[in-house]
Structure 1
């Protein structure tokens, strides 16, 4: 099989049932595609206590010169109820111009197209005028502990260094060519536990209802807005994601109440300054007497999730221009430069080199009948091929 065909590449990858954290044959399939092209391929297993072992792949062609990395993941979310799919989720069936399968757009499709683009480049021009590497993890859809972060550190300790990176996540909301991601908002999560005194609902003076304390604390985190946004980022936004009192009885005032929250934040904040602002708001709201007249300030505990995702913005003009020019050349669309959406493994890569993201249309990712347009697979391969040529030209000639 020739690796120059993105449709065949994607069919091969979808037929590997690599539900996170299982490798499922997907990394072996990529190794089989890249080795004949001259890539040196290494497999690395990362481990951490309390998490499953994860196998990852690193491949490189070239020894010096400008070094371009392509990053992605072969692990996929579970298919859910397979009977609900119109085509088996790991069959890679093609119908009405669409390829069906779990991971088709998120993000085996991006990998399949970049492999094809590199294979075509080598076939037409020989080895790149520099180095190209693939950094592929099996832990993006899982805890993201034994994947890209550790693979980057492992490779860097072996002497690897990169000048730029493209992540093949599905960035386009509607049509291929819509959007390039040039940054991501940060993400910070926490849980607030409000302490009260349990008692009978008919005798509230003998108890202290923690729900009355929870309400002003939660409200203080949602209003006022944390900021108005920046030219590159939307306004930071906090959502209360769960509220729980663990109380099945309707006539009992509970002893405690908790709420969890998540905030997606822009570069107005760092994780540390945002934590300080959240604590300030909670402390101020703890003294609110509106629902607790005559009571002492609310007693609460705040715990943070261990791993905040840090905000970043890529300002590397050569990288952004190389990709934008390629997208416009192939699609005749000028892509928007965006920082919207959730987090991705780009949050780890940005500590090593400038990084942008561009891939397929993401409308069906994680859904039943996830699918990619066969036409889009060829178009994305052409975009990636043009981008490779553009980037090396910029890197060599400025």
Structure 2
């Protein structure tokens, strides 16, 4: 499939609320204003933003299981988003759901949490839940893919009762599904019409090509040419394997190469190196990152996918220590990055010199 710029210009564009704003005073309403003003037409609504808004709006501390209060807040968020012309495209991030042993308290909690999040989805008017591939320790969830599939089927059935969908994402530090092939295999085995993929330029390129623990910033054990060839084979396989209608969205971000290699061990909270990298070192495209994210976007587009591109960045600067910025200007830069990304993907685009 040839990628023509004319077929790419109408791709809808979203922005994750968790990935803009760097100060406590950057409230959700200010985020919505910046995102809408830059021309985005939807948001991924983040649970931490709902929690913060709920406490502010209701003038009391609201906890993550205070479902009635969270639903009240979600209805108000929907009204504010509607007023700014923003669709709530997805609720995120639903993490560490699948794989817990049968009859364990963790499994019971995971399904109780799912039922609460479904209530919030209905309150805020979104039909899609992002589920990230679990990074709970293998000693607790095991590596039996049959169990992961069974849990996701059960979640899909819960969502289906409310006409809701599940977008499953590979987190590149996941215990059991760090690659696009892993999550696609799981989605294929789940085999439910309301279950598809949340693909991500960082999670894919940062897992298969980049590595924050090496001096080069690359996956080692290959020459640069071998690594590039291996990655390009993977992207061709993605294009040839995944049906476009099973891709629900593509999240967009790049990564800074850390100034010093990360320790290969988990940190004190149990987070793995790529998880730490993800949390602080993810800029917008063309803003200092080094991953081959254009290759990922092209591979996804060549499936025929023309759905949501959604910007989810965690930009604490090249050193990961924090970055001051104006939210309105940052959102405008993100929209410009989208234009640059589509032009880089288009095989017939000729820049005006």
Fold shared by both chains (TM-score > 0.5): no
* Bigger relative contact order, structure 1 or 2 (CA pairs below 8 A, ≥6 apart): 1
More strand by share: 1
More helix by share: 2
* Higher-Rg member (1/2): 1
Give the TM-score of the pair, scaled to structure 2.
0.28
